[in-house]
């Protein structure tokens, strides 16, 4: 079973995974910067698409706050490439098909729909400070207004 999500004030679990565009992305790539690390269930589903578009629309504001954005799901890197092209996304997406990072961040959980239990990603966002510590955690994210709320937290970090 999955661990609990790391708490604010703890060091963010390290990762190195395939990203969109054939590149490899690691947590250490963001050393010295603030990072919005958001986990979402699946490319091109309604809630996930809206969340990605909301973060993308605020990308320049996040940049002014010295903050990078990184989305993570268990979809393949090829799926991420298609998703980014289709919606004009201008930030990196990481593929965790093995679920190791999802488990390290405590977001691979048992879910239930129509009485059927299954494993899936719980929509969760972490704000990581320039030293690699988790500054804030949003669990069970509701998409409307979320990206703006994360931006406000990044501005005050």
- Give the C-alpha distances (Å, rounded to integers) separating 142 from 86, 136, 139, 146, 149: 23, 16, 9, 7, 11
- Return d(Cα 150, Cα 137) in angstroms, integer: 10
By annotation, the residues acting in catalysis are 48
């Amino acid at each position: 079973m999955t661990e609990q999500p790391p708490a604010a004030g703890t060091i963010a679990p390290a990762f190195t995974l395939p990203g969109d565009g054939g590149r490899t992305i690691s947590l250490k790539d963001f050393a010295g910067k603030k990072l919005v690390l958001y986990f979402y269930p699946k490319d091109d589903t309604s809630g996930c698409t809206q969340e990605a578009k909301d973060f993308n629309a605020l990308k320049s504001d996040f940049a002014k706050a010295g903050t990078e954005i990184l989305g993570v799901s268990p979809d393949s890197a090829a799926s991420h490439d298609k998703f980014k092209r289709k919606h004009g996304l201008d930030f990196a997406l990481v593929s965790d098909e093995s679920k190791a990072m999802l488990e390290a961040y405590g977001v691979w959980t048992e879910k239930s729909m129509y009485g059927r239990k299954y494993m899936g990603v719980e929509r969760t966002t972490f704000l990581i400070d320039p030293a690699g510590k988790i500054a804030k955690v949003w669990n069970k994210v509701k998409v409307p207004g979320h990206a703006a709320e994360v931006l406000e937290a990044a501005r005050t970090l």
